[in-house]
Structure 1
Amino acid sequence: MEEKSKILIIGATGFLGYNLAETSLKFGHPTFALVRDSAFSDPIKSQKLQFLSHAGATLLKGSLQDEASIVDAVKLVDVVICAVSSKQTLDQKLLIRVIKQLGTIKRFVPSEFGSDPIKARVTELDDGYNFYAPKIEIRRLVEAEGIPYTYISCNFFMKVLLPSLAQPGLEAPPRDKVTIFGDGNTKAVFMKESDVAAFTISAVDDPRTLNKVVYLRPPGNVYSLNELVEMWETKIGKKLEKLHVLEEELLTKINGTSFPSNSKMLFIYSAFIKGDHTYFDIESSSGVNGTELYPQLKYTTVSEFLDTLI
């Protein structure tokens, strides 16, 4: 059996990063985490680090701003997975430079884990903030440097819009009235973070995912807003009053608010009106369908997630 790659996780105290580190260990990979000094004094983060350490992870002190620590960490591994927040996207530039200089990394997975930034059409908005531009910049840099990569396009994490049934301002699914944006028929994709981690770790040693985008579109997790509302109504045994917000009205609301306050409305516009998750077919030259590559991986469905909210 081929030896499993040694994996470095950057951002292991974050929600996705922690799942990636846990899954990497569970799948038998020697696992390392580059961790800021400050994380060890944070009660929640230090608890996560303690668990990872006890599970077998090697914790390395450092950050994306400290070149020496990046060099020391990258030298130890075969694969680097970055899971920092979107506001830290451009902080990966120094890491990319180190990976290029060392020339020993078999696969780099940059911090994307959302909609495919190349396919996203919300950049048409004149909101003064292009959410996807930094991710596109990092992709271009990785490719220009000839670094072997895999991009993970998992679309929405379940925790982002699903707990409110895509209702801005709500923390739980509605019980009386629900807003339908657009015609309600455009489909979005939802993934649980632990499932994203399982597909990501499965992909790092797979030659089929080399220099490709891995799209996650599980059949049980692709739904329109109308379908989500109908599913929720069935689960609670009650019909909801439908309010309709057309595209123009939603755009007015988005443009009347600045980022990140309007982020949920932007995501709704992107997925449920522009169809950024599902308007395109996966091109075999540049992408693969992760749920078809790894049929053995079980994942949480939207229906199962909604069951937890009843």
Structure 2
Amino acid sequence: MEEKKTRILIVGASGRLGFELAKASLEAAHPTFALVRDSAFSDPHKSSKLQVLSTSGAVLLKGSLEDQISLVEAVRQVDVVICAVASRQVLDQKPLIAAIKEAGGVKRFIPSEFGTDPDKTRISGLDYNFYARKAEIRRIVEAEGIPYTCICCNFFASYLLPSLVQPGLKTPPRDKVMIFGDGNVKGVFMKESDVAAFTINAADDPRTLNKVVHLRPQGNVYSMNELVDVWQNKIGKKLEKIFVSEEELLKKIKETPYPENLDMVFIYCAFVKGDQTYFDTESPGGVDGTRLYPNQKYVTISEFLDTLL
């Protein structure tokens, strides 16, 4: 008899990552459900995405994180719940956790993390509780005894990489470039669609149960100096390097109002402190997603930079 495919619910399917997660789930032939709030249908951008998903076979369930009855109803229909709400809304997952607890049949919850591991960051007090909120959700999930998998993919390629990690720029520099710290600390960038594919692989894998899946593929881990070298080779031109020391960067962060200073906070976290790469991916509670799924294709940083030429 054919094994029944895991039923997956995506919360936030009209968002950038949520849409990729729903597409990846459908591509892997999972019965795929999306929790959609009424307002999404009247937003042309969101409703066109939902139309694509619906046409591809996703079941759209009306509901929201503010409506507990709709939440429990949606959760009761699936085996795995993946949440992709925006980072600033991570605490809005509390009712979802309560619904999962009440429904009782969920085999796996993947909370909205998809960034730097909040338990590994060492920038206390600088990030306006950005990581503390994600860590808080982890602790609640653990305390409730809900089976989980956390996905830590570090930076999305659409964030900071299009500017070659230059705050305030929209495209990569062609003349001079700022290097933060000594430029040798490595950060990680991954395309959203690739993160989604790895996530769907991990969603019902026994090896990822109650673990943090770290995504750090070869070809996606670069220091600022390496990024600049690759870009210089692509444009056939040397850039003037301006080194910004840790002290100068911290001063700039303090002088710049929130939230305009967040890009610099994240740059400090990744490229000065090394919070994305200082630890072993297989450290206690962690697994290496690229080792688990060696055949999963992904776009490298170099390939991504080609699209910016």
For the Cα contact (< 8 Å) 2:214–2:286, is it kept in 1?
Answer: yes
Where does residue 45 of structure 1 map in the other structure? Answer: 46
Structure 1 stretches lacking a partner, 5+ long? none
Distance of 1:41 and 1:15 partners within structure 2: 17
Where does residue 290 of structure 2 map in the other structure? Answer: 291
Where does residue 237 of structure 1 map in the other structure? Answer: 236
| SS class of match (2:263) | helix
Query: Pairwise CA RMSD of aligned residues?
Result: 0.9
Shift of 1:284: 4.7
For the Cα contact (< 8 Å) 2:24–2:200, is it kept in 1?
Answer: yes
Distance of 1:305 and 1:282 partners within structure 2: 24
Task: Give a deviation string over 1:242-271, Cα, whole Å, max 9, x none.
Answer: 111000000011111232211111111000
Where does residue 27 of structure 1 map in the other structure? Answer: 28
| SS class of match (2:212) | strand
For the Cα contact (< 8 Å) 1:10–1:83, is it kept in 2?
Answer: yes
Task: Give a deviation string over 1:219-239, Cα, whole Å, max 9, x none.
Answer: 110000000000000000000
Shift of 1:113: 0.3
| SS class of match (1:278) | coil
Q: Alignment length, in residue pairs?
A: 308
Report the AA paired with residue 179 of structure 1. Answer: M
Shift of 1:291: 0.5
For the Cα contact (< 8 Å) 1:6–1:78, is it kept in 2?
Answer: yes
Where does residue 140 of structure 2 map in the other structure? Answer: 141
| SS class of match (2:150) | strand
Where does residue 308 of structure 1 map in the other structure? Answer: 307
Where does residue 252 of structure 2 map in the other structure? Answer: 253
Where does residue 121 of structure 1 map in the other structure? Answer: 122
Aligned pair 1:64/2:83, yes or no? no
Task: Give a deviation string over 1:105-143, Cα, whole Å, max 9, x none.
Answer: 000000000000000112243x6x121111111000000
Where does residue 73 of structure 1 map in the other structure? Answer: 74
Shift of 1:4: 1.5
Q: TM-score, normalised by structure 2?
A: 0.98
For the Cα contact (< 8 Å) 1:10–1:82, is it kept in 2?
Answer: yes
Distance of 2:9 and 2:219 partners within structure 1: 31
Correspondences of 1:179-194 after superposition (within 5 Å): 179-194=178-193
Report the AA paired with residue 60 of structure 1. Answer: L
Where does residue 101 of structure 1 map in the other structure? Answer: 102
Report the AA paired with residue 101 of structure 2. Answer: K
Where does residue 221 of structure 1 map in the other structure? Answer: 220
| SS class of match (1:279) | coil
For the Cα contact (< 8 Å) 1:123–1:132, is it kept in 2?
Answer: no
Distance of 1:108 and 1:26 partners within structure 2: 20
Where does residue 280 of structure 2 map in the other structure? Answer: 281
| SS class of match (2:33) | strand
Where does residue 163 of structure 1 map in the other structure? Answer: 162
Runs of 4+ in structure 1 off by over 4 angstroms are none
| SS class of match (1:173) | coil
Where does residue 89 of structure 1 map in the other structure? Answer: 90
Distance of 1:230 and 1:36 partners within structure 2: 45
Report the AA paired with residue 11 of structure 2. Answer: I
Distance of 1:169 and 1:102 partners within structure 2: 45
| SS class of match (2:295) | coil
For the Cα contact (< 8 Å) 2:282–2:288, is it kept in 1?
Answer: no
